[in-house]
Amino acid sequence: MNFKFILCLAFLLNGHCRAAIIYPNAPDGGQEIVVTNVGPILAHDTRFFNGLKLEDLSVAEPYREYYVTNLAMLASGHMLSTTTSRSWRYILMHGTNAVGAATLIYGGTNGSALKYNDVQRPFSPDAPLEALRAAEKLPQTKKQDYEVRALNIGPLNFKAVWLHGKSGDIIIPLPPTFGRFNEYQPYSEAEIIKVLKKKAEDVIKHPNLLR
């Protein structure tokens, strides 16, 4: 299996991984890029993470971010197969709690150079970890490997943890879900499409429609 890191929430917290939830091979030098760029930000703005300094934080192994940008394909019933990815998300930890995340993107003339994009303080920084806690309890994750991914459909204000497996996918919506889904509950791709398909159609017809 072509994975360097075998991680799950339990591993992240205490070094023992029981569930088959894995992270892909991290890009070379990624953590160093995060540290090099986040350090000066925290030194300049001591309030950014409520007074935490770089030495107070650790950088977790990253996962890729996947985006659905073609709403016409979603409206026609296709979602995960249409995703694109050019970024990695690194969760920043203070002890066992997430406080934020840094994003690295591929750029340069040939699109292969990894560079710093931003550091964020999400409204619910622990949300991805909560989703992984829920995922560890699922019977599916005891039977096969699932790769951790982020799923983002910006035009529909939808974010989720996407667990990609060889024989199926699990999608766990993150808050806020705007009443469309139960946060941290696992859904199949078909269940997500069923709800978002009409939303995609509405946005295509009315681009300025509030989501």
* Mean predicted confidence (pLDDT) in 140-155: 95
DSSP run (H or E) holding 42: helix 30-44
**Cis amide leading into 40 (omega within 30):** no
User: What is the value of pTM for the model shown?
Assistant: 0.88
* Mean predicted confidence (pLDDT) in 48-64: 94
As a whole number of angstroms, the distance between CA 56 and CA 157 comes to 32
* Mean predicted confidence (pLDDT) in 6-21: 51
Give the per-residue pLDDT at 24.
Answer: 93
* Residue closest to 184 by CA, chosen among 123, 135, 125, 124: 135
- Backbone torsions φ then ψ of 112, nearest 5 degrees: -110, -5
Give the per-residue pLDDT at 209.
Answer: 61
Query: Is the confidence at residue 28, as pLDDT, over 60?
Result: yes
Domains in the chain: boundaries: 9-205
Give the per-residue pLDDT at 110.
Answer: 74
Cβ atoms < 10 Å from Cβ of 150: 23
As a whole number of angstroms, the distance between CA 202 and CA 128 comes to 28
Report residue 127's pLDDT band, with 50, 70 and 90 as the boundaries: very high
* Contact (CB, 8 A) for 67 and 154: yes
* Contact (CB, 8 A) for 102 and 26: no
Cβ-Cβ contacts under 8 Å for 86 (sequence gap 6 or more):
105, 106, 111
